[in-house]
Amino acid sequence: MKFFAKTDFNMFKKPFLMLVGLLFGLRLMAGNPTSMPVPPNEGMWLPHLIKTLNFSEMQQMGFKLSAEDIYSVNKSSLKDAVVQLGGFCTAEVVSPEGLLFTNHHCGYDAIATHSSVEHDYLTDGFWAMSKSEELPNEGLTVSFLQRIEDVTARLATVAAGASAEEAEVKIGEEIEKIEMEASEDGKYRAEVKPMFNGNEHLLFVYEVFRDIRLVGAPPSSIGKFGGDTDNWMWPRQTGDFSIMRVYADKDNNPADYSVDNVPYKPKHFLPVSIKGLKEGEFAMTMGYPGSTDRYLSSYAIDFQYKNSNPLIVKILGERLRIMKADMDADPKVRIMLASNYVSLANTYKYFLGQNRGLDRRGLIEERQAMEAEFTKWANADPTRKGKYGKVLEDFKKNYEQSAGVLNLASYMNMAGFAPGLVTYGIGYWRLGMAMAKSPDDASAWAGQIQSLKDGLDAHFKEYNLHTDQNIFARMSELMHTDLPEMYHLDAFKGKLFSKSKAKGEMSRYQAYAANVFKSSMLVDAARAKAFLDKPSKKALDADPGVEFVTSVITLYRSQLAAGQGMFEAVNAASMKTYEAGMHEMMPNKKFYPDANFTMRVSYGKMIPYDPRDGVSYKAQTFAKGILEKEVKGDEEFDVPAKLHDLFVKKDFGRYGQNGDLPLCFLTDNDITGGNSGSPVINGNGELIGIAFDGNWESMTGDLVFDPGVQRTISVDIRYVLFVIEKYAGATNLIKELTIVQ
């Protein structure tokens, strides 16, 4: 459903070896590969290069502002109204008092954190009718981009004449210097990011605000209407939005949460247009897309298709099944697990859809055809052959030699590290290492003891033992039965596992889980507290949960780390070479770098699509679609009574259109994970919607842009305002906005 929620989608997307690269997805035409254009709606473009690369095209499509209105360091511009939310989503400033619009699923963790059985904001929604009612969110930040600088030449200068190994060290040291200089003693967050797989480097400088408060959220029956069934699907009727506010100190500077802080006064905020968008009209998005892979070799895609993706679907499917059973049985567990479940379900469906898309598109064959053209071009010139002639063979060998370690990585990260016992137990494993190193010096590990004490209550507040035990049992089974013996955990060779036997309906792995959980301090707050009050290495070594955690980490360090490092090093070097070659082969092509959580601009138009033979989809949905899908009492398709009545009465106020209320719409903008909450902006620079999803047919969109079927799904801003004003009665928020009629 999302571009995406708080869980780091990219850790699933590249099971864990950072399978770097992109996929052009361009069909090389016979004869002249250098003349290939980029389709008008393809590309996640860097905002500071819009003026030279894209602006003329944008004007022709209907953009009416200047390039400097998009990105400027000398005056306020659209970039100043678009923020990175928490490093996982995008949001936009919509008022002179720092009000933010983003997606419901981007605010989901904050909403769930503030929820309880008594105050269930996930089910009932939340609306602050005054600023004093707005809720703080510890650890949540928003980052405002200040400027972008090209530092490629500076890094090339320090690396000149050095060997490859020396150059890597020198470049790393210089990047640290650049970031330190740009941070101005901590005033800003500065990051140097590689572009085109390290062929270029850009510096991004941000101002980071740390006091972000929850202002409003519709009930999940609006914000998640359609649930998993409609996730990644069209048509949609989902009001996927939430509202937050940025606070600053009295001088408008970033500050930690304080009751004395005041609403932030932005350099720029977006006016909100309720004119709507017509088919064919210009639409632009700005945001922080996380990762695309559009230069990926056929070998990488083939491995994902046959190995990584099916493994992710299999393992996540089991975790979701276990979680869902417990969530359905207990409202408290439902709230506790809701945020994690939504994120995992989204990832599960994404990879399921990606393989279906690969079947439909024949992308591996496209890549192979392109690689044949690349090989022909490289071999036609001795100099080119020397630089690029071996790169494709290097890809092939690297994947063949690393297949076992790549599969192990998927199992380790999806299954081995899945139980809460393991993620929590890592801190105890580190404590054991410190104790072993300094057995007679308690002061050497006193800080770790205190850290574990400080985090104990927070961990167990969000921990459900029954669910975790079942996940532990099933993940242990997969790790033991699916992997070859050389990759078996040491815990499976121990006495406790050996004596765990199947009995009745209890499998061997369920018996093993029961034995581990029966006595481990990692699953019981009282036991953990007793240990931390009187810690000993002997108690740690005797704990079966700590034994399991130790075996997971040992397997990672002994079998995975070295192989992973070798794979990544070869793949990174090959990708850098390959992409340099592609640029040289097609000098007339306008290239955009892979998405990497830096600000990007994409532009297109409102447009329908035909997904398959005999099926055509319109570009807009309306309120009547909710009434058509409504199923009372169903968790995915129930409709709040007040919303139902407003729709039946057609009480849409000024937000209606021809007797109905617009809900969601399609554009052919090019976005991906991290773009969740991105503003959809019309040609006048006004907010018309909030992007929240892609369509089922575009699940290969991170690998290749397919203009025929790839669509962005956005909630119409008129539905957002309708819910705020007519459903919630939060007119205090409506009054903050600059609404263009």
Catalytic residue among 221, 242, 476, 676: 676
Q: What are phi and psi of 187, to 5 degrees?
A: -65, -35
Q: Amino acid identity, residue 170?
A: K
For residues 312, 317, 319, 321, the Cα torsion angle rounded to the nearest 10 degrees is 180
- Contact between 494 and 488 (Cβ < 8 Å): no
- Scan for tokens 């994404």, then name that residue: 350
Residue 104 appears among annotated catalytic residues: no
Give the three-state DSSP class for 594: coil
Residue 256 appears among annotated catalytic residues: no
Q: Amino acid identity, residue 151?
A: V
Which of 632, 641, 626 minimizes the C-alpha distance to 124? 641
Reading the block at residue 451, the tokens are: 């850290």
CA–CA gap between residue 545 and residue 5 (Å, rounded):
30
CA–CA gap between residue 547 and residue 566 (Å, rounded):
28
- Contact between 87 and 597 (Cβ < 8 Å): yes
- Contact between 82 and 599 (Cβ < 8 Å): yes
CA–CA gap between residue 538 and residue 680 (Å, rounded):
59
**Cα–chain-centroid distance for residue 594?**
15
CA–CA gap between residue 45 and residue 16 (Å, rounded):
26
> Residues of 538-565 as b/e, b for ≥16 C-beta within 10 angstroms?
eebeebbbbbbbbbbbebbeebbeebbe
DSSP string, 472-537: HHHHHHHHHHHS-GGG--GGGGSHHHHH---BTTB-HHHHHHHHHHHH-GGG-HHHHHHHHHS--H
- Contact between 49 and 601 (Cβ < 8 Å): no
Give the three-state DSSP class for 242: strand
Catalytic residue among 211, 230, 240, 394: 240
Calculate the alpha carbon distances from 584 to 34, 418, 588 in Å: 9, 44, 9
Count of Cβ atoms closer than 10 Å to residue 671 Cβ:
29
- Scan for tokens 């600023």, then name that residue: 131
- Scan for tokens 């203009």, then name that residue: 707
CA atoms within 13 A on the CB side of 235: 20
SS (H, E, C) 140-186: CCEEEEEEEEECHHHHHHHHCCCCHHHHHHHHHHHHHHHHHHHHCCC
Q: Amino acid identity, residue 654?
A: R
Reading the block at residue 202, the tokens are: 């850009």
**Cβ within 8 Å of residue 612, ≥6 positions away:** none
Catalytic residue among 105, 201, 268, 480: 105
Which of 347, 340, 336, 341 minimizes the C-alpha distance to 324? 341
CA–CA gap between residue 189 and residue 102 (Å, rounded):
22
Q: Amino acid identity, residue 271?
A: P
- Contact between 693 and 701 (Cβ < 8 Å): no
Pairing of strands 739-740, 272-273: parallel
Count of Cβ atoms closer than 10 Å to residue 573 Cβ:
16
SS (H, E, C) 615-636: EEECCEEEHHHHHHHCCCCCCC
- Contact between 710 and 698 (Cβ < 8 Å): yes
Residue 644 appears among annotated catalytic residues: no
Which of 367, 366, 358, 370 minimizes the C-alpha distance to 698? 358
- Contact between 217 and 612 (Cβ < 8 Å): no
Pairing of strands 282-287, 272-273: unpaired
Q: Amino acid identity, residue 7?
A: T
- Residues labelled as active-site residues: 105, 240, 676
